[in-house]
Structures are given as C-alpha cells and as structure tokens.
Amino acid sequence: MVRVPGSPQHLHHIARPTGPISDRRGPARCARATPRETKRDVYFPGKGAEWINWWTGERYAGDSTQRKLDAPLDRLLLFVRAGAALPTQPVVQHTGEMSRAPLGLILAHGGMGQSRVYQDSGEGYATQRNGWRITEVNQTSSMIRLKHIGYEAGRPITFIELIGVTARPKEVRADEREVKDVEFEEKGKRLRFKLPEQGAGEIVIAQ
C-alpha cells in the first residue's frame, strides 16, 4: 500500500492514513502509478506478511515502516504478497482458443498461502449445471499442493513460475517424479518449470 500523507482513507491500521484503496488489487497485490515521480513513499500492510517486488524479487516486511522506493517512470510499482497464487496463460484472440491455451500459476514464494483458481467453459450455460472447476492451491516454502474440485474438462495446470526465489533448487519433483525442464533467473529471482501434460497434485522444491 502506498502511503499518501493526509489521506483520510484507512485499511489495516485505523490510526494511520494510507493510500487510496485503489492502490490495492485484492488482498495479495499492491500497485501504484507514479506520474512525474521517480521515488515513492511506500507502506506495506499486514504485520508478519512479506511483499515481493514483481520485477526484482526483493522482499519487504509488512509492518509500520515507511520506505522510499525507486519508482521508474517506465515501470509500475507492483508487489505480490508472499503465499499468493495468480493464474496465467498465453494471450488468446477469442474464447474459442481458451481450451487449447496452456494454464499456469505465478506463485509468490516463501509464505504459507491458500488460493483458489476458477475455471469454466467460457461460454454457454454449463456453469448452471455444475460445469465449472475450482483448483485449490496450498503452498509453503518447499511444497505446492493442487486439488481440483468440479468437472473434469477443466484445463490442467502445466507450468509454474515462482517469484522471490533466491537460489536454484537442488531438485523439483512433481508427484514424486523429477522435473527436468527447470529454469532459474537469478537477476529477477524467478524459477520456472513445466509440469506433465495432465498436471500434478503435489510439487516438492528441494533447496
């Protein structure tokens, strides 16, 4: 959350003025546009929580400390709460392409978190007849568990990207099988790997 001195709006701390609620993108993301400014005073909510810079992987503690951070004009200030899961896929031109687009997750590494990813056919009225699927995502610093609820026609999760990873893991295993296609980006602190075509229920990351 970006703190704006004198703002009357409050979120986590009633006695502390914080930035406009539009800075928040749900409970797991913070974003702030900073026109004509190259630095910004930033306050991260949630005592005991950690927030990860989307671009650099740097971590910040959620507490009462106000920090002045670089805010380049060509890059939005964007942070993800550790433990959050965000669904992602390649760009499609229309809903007819959705069923063939790979589905993945971007995970903010390092915190215990629970998230839910919703899917349906994207058209028609099948959702009124239980034509939907929810994937429950539970993660710790070393394990990711995926549980599917609902219809079987949903797309499996076939790739995962973690942000805030400081070193290449010794091994990644999906349902007790070693994952070979693992990529680590040291500068951005990102780890990427593919899962089997049918997906996986449990992923273990050995540091």
Q: What is the pLDDT of residue 55?
A: 94
> What pLDDT does residue 114 have?
94
Q: Which residue type does 154 have?
A: G
User: What does each of the 207 residues of the chain score in pLDDT, given as a tens digit?
Assistant: 333 333 333 333 434 444 443 455 556 666 555 566 788 888 888 888 999 999 999 999 988 778 888 888 888 889 999 999 999 999 999 878 888 899 999 999 988 899 999 988 777 777 777 778 899 999 999 999 999 998 877 899 999 999 999 999 999 999 999 999 999 999 999 999 999 999 999 999 998
Distances (CA, A) of 186 to 48, 88, 164, 169, 194: 26, 21, 10, 12, 18
Whether 50 contacts 81, CB under 8 Å: yes
Which string of DSSP letters, residue by residue, matches 55-81? TT--EEE-SS-EEEEE--TTS-EEEEE
pLDDT at 134: 93
Domains along the chain with CATH numbers:
21-81 (2.60.40.1180), 85-206 (2.60.40.1180)
